[in-house]
Amino acid sequence: MRADATLLLLDKDAVEQLLTPDEVTQAVREAFVLHGRREGRVFPVVREKLATGGVFGIKSGDVPAQGLLGFKAAGFWPANREIGGEPHQATILLFDPATGRPQCVIDGNAITTVRTGAAGGLGLQLLARQDSTRLTVFGTGVQARSQLRFALRTLPRLACVEYVSVDRRADEGFESLFADQCDIRCARDADEAVSRSDVVITATPGAGPLFDAGALRPGTHLNCVGADTAGKRELPDGVLQRARLVVDDREQALQLGELQWARETPCVELGTLLLGERPFERAAGEITVFDMTGLALQDLTVARFIHERACAEAVGTRIGWAW
């Protein structure tokens, strides 16, 4: 038995210290390209409701050529808000594929937040009209904030942002984060806000349709984040039938995403577009949708660079882990 081996632990503070938006975007882009080339594998997703009221899931995969193997155990526990906690919980583990030894335990909340925002940014870069000036975001929580941050980085002409909060009331904390980057205000009527928008981002718990399909005007792009479990949705009937649909993974979107509600809708994976294998030219009046269910490879490529940087900079806590 080897007794000199260690396991690296990286908590939330350590991860946030090492994250940078540009590097996360680069890692997420790599994940989509690996997926498009089928050089990275995505294993079947576990996503189960619990008797406690939470939802627990596991996303896992590997990149054999890079010696990258791991999983993210994550879920959503809404009752955490009542005790002052974050409802989303996630932990990432990286393993040595040659031995099965755990290498690193990483707080997954910060990684999930930023890698999903970066994926949304890539979707906007490829699919949205680059002259877009008006955006509506549904939600004011952690993921809505991340999506809006990356949208403002990606679409430099965005000037007007409307947000739809759960109670239709203004959220001063949310507004203060973006007030110096755009004209931001609370939308009282979701349909009216959507009808004025070039870009719509849905980042809610996915409890049901958020607006009327008739509110969408030609040329709008939608990033849809909240449908990540069977039974969840944010889009009303009729939207996907009018749109060009892009997904992160077709099989996963059929199980968990908006695609589960319109299963015959033709779609293309984002990795294919990034590889240039299928040219994407947007007609001015087209409606486009990016159905984002979240790939294990996104978590793993980001976790890998966090692990490498933590080792190089001696960040984190090491504990003995004999084998």
Nearest to 27 by CA among 296, 319, 267, 303: 303
Within 10 Å of residue 85's Cβ, how many Cβ atoms? Answer: 11
Eight-state DSSP code of residue 196: T
Give yes or no: 12 in active site: no
Q: Where are the beta strands (DSSP E) in the chain?
A: 6-10, 41-42, 46-49, 55-63, 68-76, 88-95, 102-107, 134-138, 160-164, 183-186, 199-202, 221-224, 243-247, 267-269, 287-291, 317-320
Among 12, 49, 72, 232, which one carries the catalytic annotation?
72
Helix axes 108-127, 142-154, angle to 10 degrees: 40
Identify the residue whose tokens are 């007609």. Answer: 283
> Quick one: three-class SS letters along 17-59?
HHCCHHHHHHHHHHHHHHHHHCCCEECCCEEEECCCCCEEEEE
d(CA 128, CA 198): 8
What six digits make up the tokens of 78?
């809404």
Catalytically active residues are 72
